[in-house]
């Protein structure tokens, strides 16, 4: 998996190579030996060689989500390959590796397995058909008398066999079938079975190479003295002292900060300290945690763009027999991937090599090309393993640009390393948001109007400002309303006869980007907590109330019902304990979770006792990976529910490391049950949806335990005590 | 010159005594399995064994560990019960924290008198996993302890 091959070598054909070229509009299968060099632009390909090996090359990044196992399983199953003979390698950065869902080489949006499912099945099936045909021709028997299994074709009547290795050269000369027959689901050998992940053994051995582990001969290390406040500029610094530190080669100022290049990381850090930079106060010297919350709260009363306007919500609300109104707030949250941001680059006269733990290779190429002045095709991206991504490594590639700047300046390969403090302080955070909803109910307790104001940071402002249309950032609204951009952005499940959504975009300088599920998790918190409030106001059971609203949505109903049943919904709980539910749909999958909590009303501590999760992701290619992803999502969801909040002071970020930016630890994790709903629906993503229902399920359980609503996270003892006292 | 005993070998290293052990292991001895994540001993990604005890190599200077027995993830045998259990239970996701987690668990399960699974789990708040593999780490600990018991019985 660590082998990264260059664009230039992948055209060498030494066996049967089948390539898949996928675009959002469809896909093409190719027999590589029939292609002329240059016209060959596959996303994924596999090669069967005479040594009986099957090598699958992928363009996706492996950051723990398991796609490097899931995608090969799909090919191997249809190919009737022996899994033991399958090897997987990482492809180079190339337009060839675009993800069909996004039309870009990027591993985001829980899109890897679902984007490639059908094309890879067809590719595997083509290979199988060609190998069978080659065997039938060799034996001069009809093809339907031959059967493929475990990388071998057998002539059933005579018992003769030939291995795929023996057949591959002959098969390579055949034409690729246009529409090869697929296996029946009942015949699947790997798809739907729990398969051990291919990347785990080398990770357990400590041999997996992450970005920070990259070693390039003659490499220097660089660190950057960065401004402590947004927009701050250096007033003075001691260049001489820094360059006098043993091992420091040079220092130079850039818009990012002051670079210190040295022979070792330790020397670079010591050099940075010796700089003793004095900074001015920046552009927002009075900004702090409290002022930020106030800013978003005030945003609710400022005019915004209208994202949805169905019916006449004003009329519906004024005629409603009951009204419910509530305001929610969610703070900025850091990605805090365990591997801090880092990247290594070597800029030479005619080429640039980049070793990066990145989710977005093409984006990296674009920016590296701009900074180095070299054309795109002279930039080679070598993707390493990622010490987690969570979206941080798929957005603006600041951490990739930096070593390119440094290497260009010093003429040597340079690795730029961020300390944990930098990683937390200079993150592109999960967007903070303040939201106010007003809902009206008729006399039967049905929702007749829903008016929703969102004040939030704009994700697209930092990702792709051109996509902001009429003042609406659909990334920041994801999970509340459907975006106009198909196919991935449309999943909201609730519809109301009168439905109004307005969005005010904050102008704070704090950068944001997608954070596992983009903005679905914060938005699901607001939607599902408020839905609970509305159900309560209507005097209905929260499950029953949602089931009624989701009458036309079988997938959402099924996950809701599964989670409720498995959790024993409706059974009484002891005093001080509560049970809550939430559901959400995104990235083509449907999820619901039930949380059981205990609340200590004396000290404000909240203990989560159990999470029961249900997911409908269509075909679960590797069910064990699906379970692992949901478990991980729930843990991360709990971390944001109970712990995480970035603190600000004096116009910059105050939080710095894991001692003041708390992440959930093992003793705080309850048993997590995951139920995969059996489904023949279209395949959906599994990396992100699971994070969305956790926080609202816990907050709803908190209400069930105490009778008090907390309309914000994290549920720290202080916030809990404040809410209990106010009630 | 400092002399370091790592994974059964002795390495002379020419670094200043106050350099954190982590960076000497990684960048001087090229043992990259031990990971940097926080640098203040909060997350456990850099955990190694010093004389058999799990310690955070980011907050220990090389000067302090001269002459002591240091074991890193690379020095833990491939057939070690914790490594085997981690594969059996498919614990790992991104895997970046796992060398540290494995070193933490392997030190705890070799303590005398032996700890049971709950006692080991109770000492796991020293490590952070951002992918949220905690439920599987718990399973891995139980399996590793069972495997260790079986090995003791066999021998």
Per-residue pLDDT of B13-35, as tens digits, reads: 999 899 999 999 999 999 999 99
Q: How much is the average pLDDT of A699-716?
A: 98
Q: Which helix or strand (DSSP H or E) is residue A153 part of?
A: strand A152-155
Q: What is the 3-state secondary structure (H, E, C) of A35-91?
A: CCCCCCCCCEEEEECCCCCEEEEECCCCCCCCHHHHHHHHHHHHHCCCHHHEEEEEC
For residue A688, the chain B residue with the least C-alpha distance is: B131
Please say whether the beta carbons of B9 and B2 come within 8 A: no
Q: Do A390 and B37 touch (CB under 8 A)?
A: no
Kindly list the structural domains of chain B, giving each domain's residue range(s) and its CATH number in brackets, ordered by start.
2-75 (3.10.20.30), 81-154 (1.10.150.120)
Distance from CA of B13 to the nearest CA of A (A): 14
Domains of chain A (ranges, CATH numbers): 16-197 (3.30.365.10), 211-281+341-417 (3.30.365.10), 289-333+429-726 (3.30.365.10)
Minimal Cβ distance to B32: which of A213, A390, A631: A213
Nearest CA among A589, A586, A582, A594 for reference residue A620: A589
Q: Which residues of B touch A64 (CB under 8 A)?
A: 92-95, 131
Average pLDDT rounded to a whole number, residues A636-640: 98
Chain A residues within an 8 Å CB radius of B102: 204
Size of interface A-B (CB pairs under 8 A): 166
Chain B residues 95-154 with a CB less than 8 Å from chain A: 95-99, 102, 121-122, 124-125, 127-138
pLDDT digits (tens, 9 = 90+) for A269-318: 999 999 999 999 999 999 999 999 999 999 999 999 999 999 999 999 99
The verdict on a CB contact (< 8 Å) between A196 and B83 is no
Q: What are phi and psi of A115, to 5 degrees?
A: -70, -30
- At residue A23, the pLDDT reads 66
CB contact under 8 A, B90 and A628: yes
3-state secondary structure of A692: coil
Q: Identify from A64, A630, A659 which residue to disrupt to test chain B contact, counting B C-beta atoms within 10 A and taking the largest count.
A: A64
Q: What's the predicted TM-score (pTM) here?
A: 0.94
Averages of pLDDT over each 10 residues, chain B, 155 residues? 96 93 96 98 98 98 96 97 98 97 98 95 97 98 95 81
**Taking every pair of C-alpha atoms in chain A, what is the biggest distance, in angstroms?**
86
Q: Among partner residues B39, B87, B134, which is closest to A419 by beta-carbon distance? A: B39
* ipTM over 0.90 threshold: yes
DSSP characters over A392-451: GGGS--HHHHHHHHHHHHHSS-EEEE--HHHHHHT--BBPPEEEEEEEEE-TTS-EEEEE
pLDDT range class, residue A1, cuts 50, 70, 90: very low
CB contact under 8 A, B95 and A657: no
A553 Cα to chain B: minimum distance (Å): 31
Q: Over range A544-562, report the average pLDDT.
A: 95
Q: Which residue has the higher pLDDT, A77 or A727?
A: A77
Residue of A106 and A365 predicted with greater confidence = A365
Q: Residue A349: phi, psi to the nearest 5?
A: -55, -45
User: Does residue A524 contact residue A475 with C-beta atoms inside 8 Å?
Assistant: no
Q: What is the pLDDT of residues A228-265, one digit of tens each?
A: 999 999 999 999 999 999 999 999 999 999 999 999 99
Q: Give the pLDDT score at A82.
A: 97
**Nearest residue to A638 (alpha-carbon basis) of A725, A699, A576:** A699
Chain A residue with minimal CA distance to B99?
Answer: A206
Instruction: Return the pLDDT at A487.
Output: 47
Confidence of residue A724 (pLDDT cuts 50, 70, 90): very high
Mean pLDDT, residues A495-506: 96
Min Cα separation B141/chain A (Å): 12
Give whichever of A5-9, A100-104, A460-464, A705-709 has the largest mean pLDDT: A705-709
CA–CA dist B102, B47 (Å, integer): 9
Beta bridge partners of A456: A433, A505
Q: pLDDT of A560-601, one tens digit each? A: 999 999 999 999 999 999 999 999 999 999 999 999 999 999
pLDDT of residue A323: 98
Mean pLDDT of A524-551: 97
Q: Write out the DSSP string of A228-277.
A: SSTT--EEE--HHHHHTSTTEEEEEEETTEEEEEESSHHHHHHHHHHH--
Please report, for residues A6, A139, A358, the alpha-carbon distance to residue A383 in angstroms, rounded to integers and kept in the order given: 11, 44, 6
Least-confidence region, from A56-65, A180-189, A431-440, A521-530: A56-65
- Name, in order, each residue with C-beta under 8 angstroms of A421's C-beta and a sequence gap of 6 or more: A656, A657
Helix axes A361-372, A398-410, angle to 10 degrees: 30
Which residue bears the tokens 């002279």?
A: A378
pLDDT surpassing 60 at residue A446: yes
Our CA-based measurement puts residue A433 at a distance from the nearest CA of chain B, in whole angstroms, of 23
B30, B99, B122 member nearest A206 (Cβ): B99
| pLDDT of A10 strictly over 60 | no
Interface of B with A in 21-80 (CB under 8 A): 23, 26-27, 30, 32-40, 42-43, 45, 72-74, 78
Confidence of residue A68 (pLDDT cuts 50, 70, 90): confident
Rg of chain A (C-alpha set)? 27
Q: Predicted confidence band at A106 (pLDDT cuts at 50, 70, 90)?
A: low
pLDDT band at A66 (very low <50, low <70, confident <90, very high): confident
The whole-number pLDDT of residue A115 equals 79
- Provide the pLDDT for residue B153: 84
Q: What is the mean pLDDT of residues A199-226?
A: 96
Closest chain B residue to the Cα of A388, Cα to Cα: B94
User: Taking 80 as the threshold, does the pLDDT of residue A85 lie above it?
Assistant: yes
How many whole angstroms separate alpha carbon A591 and alpha carbon A587? Answer: 11
Contact A196 B87 (CB under 8 A): yes
Q: Average pLDDT in the A108-115 region?
A: 68
Beta-sheet pairing, A220-225 with A257-262: antiparallel
* Residues A16-58 pLDDT 10s: 988 887 766 677 788 877 655 444 456 788 999 999 999 998 8
Q: Residue A530 above 80 pLDDT?
A: yes
Which residues of chain A are within 8 Å of residue B83 when distances are taken between CB atoms?
204-205
pLDDT tens column, A420-430: 999 999 999 99
Greater confidence (A420 vs A681) lies with A420
pLDDT-derived band at A62, boundaries 50, 70, 90: confident
Per-chain mean pLDDT for chain A: 92
Query: What is the greatest pairwise CA distance in chain B?
Result: 46
Interface test with A, best of B135, B137, B142 (most A CBs within 10 A): B135
Are residues A338 and B35, on separate chains, in Cβ contact within 8 Å? Answer: yes
The pLDDT of residue A7 is: 42
Residue B155 is predicted with a pLDDT of: 74
Q: What is the pLDDT of residue A495?
A: 86
Name, in order, each residue with C-beta under 8 angstroms of A576's C-beta and a sequence gap of 6 or more: A598, A599, A600, A601, A705
Residue in B16, B85, B132, B138 to test binding to A, most A beta-carbons within 10 Å = B132
Residues of B in contact with A206 (CB under 8 A): 32-34, 72-74, 99
């Amino acid at each position: 998996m660590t082998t990264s091959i260059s664009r230039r070598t992948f055209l060498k054909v030494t066996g049967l190579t089948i390539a898949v070229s996928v675009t959002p509009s469809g896909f093409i299968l190719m027999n590589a030996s029939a292609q002329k060099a240059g016209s060959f632009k596959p996303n994924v390909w596999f090669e069967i060689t005479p040594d009986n090996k099957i090598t699958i090359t992928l363009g996706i990044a492996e950051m723990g989500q398991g796609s490097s196992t899931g995608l090969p399983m799909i090919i191997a199953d249809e190919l009737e390959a022996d899994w033991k003979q399958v090897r997987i390698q990482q492809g180079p950065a190339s337009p060839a590796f675009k993800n069909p869902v996004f039309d870009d080489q990027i591993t985001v949006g829980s899109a890897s397995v679902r984007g490639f499912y059908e094309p890879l099945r067809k590719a595997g099936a083509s290979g199988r058909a060609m190998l069978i045909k080659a065997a039938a021709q060799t034996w001069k028997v009809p093809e339907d008398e031959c059967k493929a299994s475990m990388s071998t074709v057998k002539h059933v009547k005579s018992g003769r066999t030939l291995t795929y290795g023996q057949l591959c050269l002959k098969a390579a000369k055949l034409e690729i079938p246009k529409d090869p027959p697929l296996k029946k689901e009942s015949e699947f050998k790997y798809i739907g079975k729990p398969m051990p992940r291919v990347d785990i053994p080398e990770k357990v051995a400590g041999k997996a190479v992450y970005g920070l582990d990259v070693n390039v001969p003659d490499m220097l290390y660089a660190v950057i003295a960065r401004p402590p406040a947004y927009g701050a500029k250096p007033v003075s610094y001691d260049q001489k002292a820094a360059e006098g530190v043993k091992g420091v080669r040079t220092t130079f100022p850039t818009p990012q900060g002051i670079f210190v290049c040295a022979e070792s990381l330790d020397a670079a850090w010591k050099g940075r300290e010796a700089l003793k930079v004095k900074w001015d106060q920046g552009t927002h010297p009075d900004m702090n945690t409290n002022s930020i919350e106030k800013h978003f709260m005030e945003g609710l009363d400022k005019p915004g763009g209208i994202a949805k306007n169905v019916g006449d919500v004003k009329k519906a609300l004024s005629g409603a027999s009951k009204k419910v109104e509530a305001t929610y707030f969610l703070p900025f949250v850091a990605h805090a991937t365990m591997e801090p941001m880092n990247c290594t680059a070597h800029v030479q006269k005619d080429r640039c090599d980049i070793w990066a733990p990145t989710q977005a290779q093409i984006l990296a190429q674009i920016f590296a090309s701009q900074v180095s002045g070299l054309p795109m095709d002279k930039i080679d991206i070598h993707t390493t393993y990622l010490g987690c991504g969570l979206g941080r490594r798929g957005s603006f590639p600041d951490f990739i640009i930096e070593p390119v700047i440094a290497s260009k300046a010093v003429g040597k390969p340079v690795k730029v390393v961020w300390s944990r403090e930098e990683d937390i302080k200079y993150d592109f955070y999960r967007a903070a948001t303040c939201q106010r909803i007003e809902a009206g109910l008729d006399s039967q307790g049905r929702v007749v109007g829903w008016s929703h104001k969102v004040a939030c940071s704009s994700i697209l402002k930092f990702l792709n400002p051109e996509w902001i249309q009429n003042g609406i950032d659909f990334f920041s609204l994801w999970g509340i309303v459907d975006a106009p951009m198909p196919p991935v952005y449309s999943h909201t499940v609730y519809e109301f006869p009168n439905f109004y959504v307005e969005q005010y975009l904050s102008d704070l300088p704090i950068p944001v980007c997608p954070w596992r599920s983009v903005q679905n998790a914060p938005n699901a918190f607001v939607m599902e907590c408020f839905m609970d409030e509305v159900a309560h106001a209507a005097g209905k059971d929260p499950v029953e109330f949602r089931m009624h609203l989701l009458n036309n949505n079988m997938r959402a109903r099924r996950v809701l019902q599964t989670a409720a049943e498995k959790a024993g919904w409706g059974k009484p709980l002891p005093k001080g304990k509560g049970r809550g539910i939430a559901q959400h749909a995104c990235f083509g999958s449907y999820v619901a979770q039930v949380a059981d909590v205990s609340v200590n009303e004396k000290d404000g501590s909240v203990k989560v006792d159990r999470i029961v999760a249900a997911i409908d992701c269509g075909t679960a290619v590797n069910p064990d990976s699906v379970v692992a992803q949901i478990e991980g999502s729930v843990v991360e969801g709990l971390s944001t529910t109970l712990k995480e909040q970035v603190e600000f002071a004096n116009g910059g970020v105050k939080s710095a490391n894991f001692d003041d930016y708390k992440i959930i630890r093992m003793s705080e994790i309850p048993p997590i049950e995951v139920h995969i709903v059996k489904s023949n629906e279209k395949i959906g993503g599994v990396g992100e949806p699971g994070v969305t229902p956790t926080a609202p399920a816990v907050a709803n359980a908190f209400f069930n335990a105490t009778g008090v609503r907390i309309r914000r996270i994290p549920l720290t003892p202080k916030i809990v005590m404040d809410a209990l006292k106010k009630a | 010159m400092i002399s370091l005993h790592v994974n059964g070998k002795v390495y002379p290293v020419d670094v200043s005594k106050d350099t954190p052990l982590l960076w000497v292991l990684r960048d001087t001895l090229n043992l990259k399995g031990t990971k940097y994540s926080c640098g203040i001993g909060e997350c456990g990604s850099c955990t190694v064994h010093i004389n058999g005890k799990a310690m955070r190599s980011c907050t220990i200077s090389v000067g302090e560990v001269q002459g002591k027995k240091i074991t890193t993830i690379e020095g833990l045998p491939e057939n070690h019960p914790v490594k085997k259990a981690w594969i059996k239970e498919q614990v790992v996701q991104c895997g970046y924290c796992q060398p540290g987690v494995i070193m933490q668990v392997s030190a705890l399960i070799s303590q005398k008198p032996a700890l049971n699974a709950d006692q080991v789990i109770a000492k796991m708040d020293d490590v952070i996993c951002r992918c949220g593999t905690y439920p599987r780490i718990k399973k891995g600990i139980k399996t590793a302890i069972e495997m260790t018991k079986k090995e003791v019985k066999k021998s």
